[in-house]
Structure 1
Amino acid sequence: MAGLYSLGVSVFSDQGGRKYMEDVTQIVVEPEPTAEEKPSPRRSLSQPLSLRPSP
């Protein structure tokens, strides 16, 4: 992804004697992973293990 995005936010606040507050926020945009990049699903701790009887 080429390019840089800028986002400005203005928030009204009646606390602290300030009427308006300005902050800088960074937003990172990343592509979703493909099927090859996705990690394999993990077994939940609440799921029982399937144990084979010993011979």
Structure 2
Amino acid sequence: MNTENLVVATDFCSCHQIEISFIRSLAEFGLIETTEIQQQVYLSRDELEKLEQIV
């Protein structure tokens, strides 16, 4: 899968000082969508706007 339009979730977490478990929980509750490729969690650029509003 092409990761060109995806952001690594751990990079977002580092910038916003949150835990990756928070993002996983939001995804489990259906508030955001994540993509997992080779055990790495990614966020689409569309989901970043939603996530930034939540954080």
TM range (shorter): under 0.3
**Bigger helix fraction:** 2
TM-score normalized by structure 1?
0.18
Structure with greater contact order relative to length (CA < 8 Å, sep ≥ 6): 2
In our comparison, the structure showing a higher alpha carbon Rg is 1
Q: Normalised by the size of structure 2, how large is the TM-score? A: 0.18
